[in-house]
Amino acid sequence: MTRPPTARIALNRPLRRLFDYRIPDHLSVYPGQRVKVPFGRQVLTGLVVETGVNPPDGITLKPITAALEPWPALPETTFRLLSWASDYYQHPLGECLFTALPPALRRGRPSEQKQDEHWRAASTGAALPANAHRQKALLAAIQSAPGITSGELVKAGFNRPQIKGLADKELICRTEGNPQSPGDTGQAAPGPTLSGAQQTAAEDLPTDTNRFSATLLYGITGSGKTELYLHYLKQQLQPDQQALVLVPEINLTPQTLARFRKYFGSRIVAWHSALNDGERLATWLRIRNGDPVILIGTRSAVLLPFTHLRSIIVDEEHDSSYKQGEGFRYSGRDVAVYRAHLNQCPVILGSATPSLESWYNAQQGKYHLIRLEQRAGNASPPELALLDIRSRPLEAGLARPTLNAIRDALARGEQALVFVNRRGFAPVMMCFDCGHMEECPRCDTRLTYHRRDRAMRCHHCDFQMAASPTCPKCRSDNFKPVGQGTERTEDTLADQFPDTPIVRVDRDSTQRKGSIQALLAKVNSGEPCILVGTQMLAKGHDFPNVTLAAVVNADGGLFSVDFRAPEQMVQTLLQVSGRAGRGDKPGKVLIQTCHSDHPLLKALCQGNYPLLADQLLAERQTGELPPFRAMAILRAEADTMQASLQLLDTIKPMTASKGSETWGPLPAMIARKANRHRAQLILCSDSRRQLNRILAHVCQYLDQNKLPASTKWIVDVDPQETG
């Protein structure tokens, strides 16, 4: 008796297992295809993983209900990429595969797109009767915005029969349009002539788009890396090929898109968190259909179903936001490198402060290193200086020389930037009589005081409460904010510079969609102003008139328990300093610190990142830390610390192996977060393979053993934070 054909299906569930179904006679299915399957009393969307599997004897399989489309939603390389990632990050295959689908397709919606037609004028409308006012207005609207969609015209007050009327008269015709850039003419323009240094770097970029190569482009801030990416794509990308440019979320601004569109017109397509489900589906389908787009996108763009991908660029490759912090904890950058390898195409990683991982890979000869150490145009590198604030009087955190430097910059008609590493008014409220500090009732952290709305907020959970004017413990009036946040710095600067606009850029001031754009537009006008902000300001922005960057306190990263903290501090400070002096005027950077003799800060002042990276790498080697060993964290969360520690104590013996080491279990840096008690094991191994095997074993054990319902665990491979 021949067995009926069968298929193994992945579901969008946090389950480390797949499900077998029978393929009914009238269906043929392929790996990567979307299907509907019965599951318990439900019908779920599934993805075919393989066909022709042998279920155990005596088991009657349920049939697949239907195929959602006759083609595989995930083409072969995308499917292989995700299977690899599922194994590498030890995350259930089903959830990994579904991450690569747009939300509509995850929910089992059909993949045909509601086509919205784009229109352009085909005539001046002279033939229209004089009294056809509505039709004339419609024609004028289309003339003024070629590529406008029917939907947009309806929103503007016209109706579909009117549009059809004009089309029937052949006064307008359908056109290819880019739904994300109405009015885009699709025309491309040449960029600036490359400088000598840029030209040399450009000649060193990959020339074979049909072979894997990994290049690390180390280019100081303002050296013109973006210009080089554009030049490279122009030179190497064939008209029928796709390319992917990954950028950190915050860098995907209209300015960045405009810069790419200037070169490539409507071939540029964006992918980011602000797209709605319809836009996501439309873009996803274009990629899946092999449209020769250049996709500029954030982390998850690396998982899209490209079919003709021939180049990948990862800008600001050191940025920790490439690592997903929850669920499927993949690194967009690392997946990009693997994807280039699978596809046999080049990947270019660019940064002014490369991650130690990439720097090490370059030293090992795994990545080809290109150095671009001159600023483009007339700009020269900024001058960095440390300002020891140990015995200086401070005005809410700012020393006299810092205020003077800001005053000087403004007097010259220039702009200044002040970097503070914490949002809110002050990181803590303290009673100067009894010593009480306000803590989050749900976490082991202090509450941050936000004066704008008189609230105390926890930055680790969503707890907030009204700020109390007196000490909640002893009722003393001597209850005061301690330390610096962006709001407080903003207030001090407003006092000191009453006539100068102050622009605060942090998560609080940019919550509304588009607000960061409005804030940055103000700065780009070039008028004297002071920018105050957090990390958000440090990343990749081009402010030609900022000539001074001041860092309120550089010491956070010097003595942290997190092994990545010094690297991140150095990167942030250099990125901040990179915002100064990008135009024709020289830039200056003032770094306030209580440790002006610290070797790391001294080296930083030379602005020599390669030297710093070598120093930091030497420390990592001594500490036997990544990138010299592979690392993963196993974290447990429970209602009590004892339960978390207990679970990890059970696991620990399973992780013992030659060449590997396990630290812990220990409470996490923030041991209690949102009333959950967190503990962790840190696993290090000389062999990534071995680490992967250990993790697979542990995950399987944890899956198969019933844990108390409130106990949760996660595994984080290549963690960004060890806290």
Q: Which residues bind ligand ADP (CB under 6 A)?
A: 192-195, 198, 219, 221-227, 376-377, 542, 582
Is residue 456 within the footprint of Zn ion (CB under 5 A)?
Answer: no
Which among Zn ion, ligand ADP, none contacts residue 150 (Cβ within 5 to 8 A by kind)?
none
Token digits of residue 20: 């077998």
User: Which class for 369: exposed (0-12), middle (13-18), buried (19 or more C-beta within 10 A)?
Assistant: middle
Please state, in angstroms and as integers, the Cα–Cα distance from residue 435 to each residue in 429, 438, 454, following that order: 10, 10, 21
Minimum distance from residue 501 beta carbon to ligand ADP (Å): 23
Among the listed ranges 210-218, 438-446, 526-534, 565-573, the one in contact with Zn ion (CB under 5 A) is: 438-446
What is the nearest approach in angstroms of ligand ADP to the Cβ of residue 275? Answer: 24
Name the residue nearer to Zn ion (CB basis): 472 or 514. 472
The entry of ligand ADP, Zn ion, none near residue 471 (CB within 5 to 8 angstroms by kind) is Zn ion
Q: How far is CA 213 from the centre of its chain?
A: 23
Q: Which does 463 bind (CB under 5 to 8 A by kind): Zn ion, ligand ADP, none?
A: Zn ion
259 versus 672: smaller Cβ distance to ligand ADP: 259
Phi, psi angle pair for 369, to nearest 5°: -95, 130
We find the least distance from the C-beta atom of residue 691 to ligand ADP, in angstroms, to be 35
Q: Which of 23, 139, 458, 537 binds Zn ion (CB under 5 A)?
A: 458
| Smallest distance, ligand ADP to C-beta of residue 222, A | 5
Residue at token pair 């840190």: 682
459, 407 in Cβ contact below 8 A?
A: no
Count of residues near Zn ion by CB under 5 A: 15
Whole-angstrom Cα distance, residue 245 to residue 327?
24
* Smallest gap from residue 460 Cβ to Zn ion (A): 5
Q: Which is nearer to ligand ADP, 201 or 530 (CB)?
A: 201
Q: Which residues contact 314 (CB under 8 A, 6 or more apart)?
A: 246, 322, 332, 333, 336, 347, 348, 349, 350
Cis before 665 (ω within 30): yes
Interface map 462-491 toward Zn ion (x if CB under 5 A): -x-------x-xx-x---------------
Q: Which does 688 bind (CB under 5 to 8 A by kind): ligand ADP, Zn ion, none?
A: none
We find the least distance from the C-beta atom of residue 585 to ligand ADP, in angstroms, to be 14
The sign one gets for the Cα dihedral 194, 195, 196, 198 is negative
| Beta-strand relationship, 42-51 and 294-297 | unpaired
Contact call for residue 459 and Zn ion (CB under 5 A): no
461 interface partner picked from Zn ion, ligand ADP, none, CB below 5 to 8 A per type: Zn ion
The minimum distance between CB 440 and Zn ion, in angstroms, equals 3
Determine if 656 is a binding residue for Zn ion (CB under 5 A): no
Query: Out of ligand ADP, Zn ion, none, which partner does residue 436 contact, by CB within 5 to 8 A per kind?
Result: Zn ion
Residue from 37, 205, 426, 440 binding Zn ion (CB under 5 A): 440
Dist. CA 366–CA 359, nearest whole Å: 10
Interacting residues with Zn ion between 398 and 437 (CB under 5 A)? 431, 433-434, 436
- Say if CB 14 and CB 95 are below 8 A apart: yes
Instruction: Rule CB under 5 A: say whether 618 interacts with Zn ion.
Output: no
**Read out DSSP for 674-705?**
TTEEEEEEEEEES-HHHHHHHHHHHHHHHHHS
What minimum distance in Å lies between the beta carbon of 314 and ligand ADP? 13
**CA-based angle 174:175:181, to the nearest 5?**
130
Question: With CB cut-offs between 5 and 8 Å by kind, which of Zn ion, ligand ADP, none does residue 443 bind?
Answer: Zn ion
Smallest separation (angstroms) from ligand ADP to the CB of 253: 12
Q: Which does 45 bind (CB under 5 to 8 A by kind): ligand ADP, Zn ion, none?
A: none
| CB-nearer residue toward Zn ion: 290 or 723 | 723
Q: What is the CA radius of gyration of the chain?
A: 28
Q: How far is CA 615 from CA 312, 560, 610, 618, in A?
A: 30, 17, 9, 5
The 3-state DSSP composition of the chain as helix, strand, coil percent (nearest 5) reads 30, 25, 45
Measured from the CB atom, the residue of 179 and 224 that comes closer to ligand ADP is: 224
Name 232's bridge partners.
Answer: none
Give whichever of 457 and 582 is closer to ligand ADP, judged by the CB atom: 582
Q: Which amino acid is at 310?
A: R
Residue type (1 letter), 60: T
Name the binder of 427 from ligand ADP, Zn ion, none, CB < 5-8 A by kind. none
In DSSP notation, 312-353 reads EEEETTT-GGGB--SSS--BHHHHHHHHHHHHT-EEEEEESS
Residue 225 binds which of ligand ADP, Zn ion, none (CB < 5-8 A, kind-dependent): ligand ADP
Report in angstroms how near the CB of residue 229 gets to ligand ADP at its nearest: 8
Footprint on this chain of Zn ion (rule: CB under 5 A): 431, 433-434, 436, 440, 442-443, 458, 460-461, 463, 471, 473-474, 476
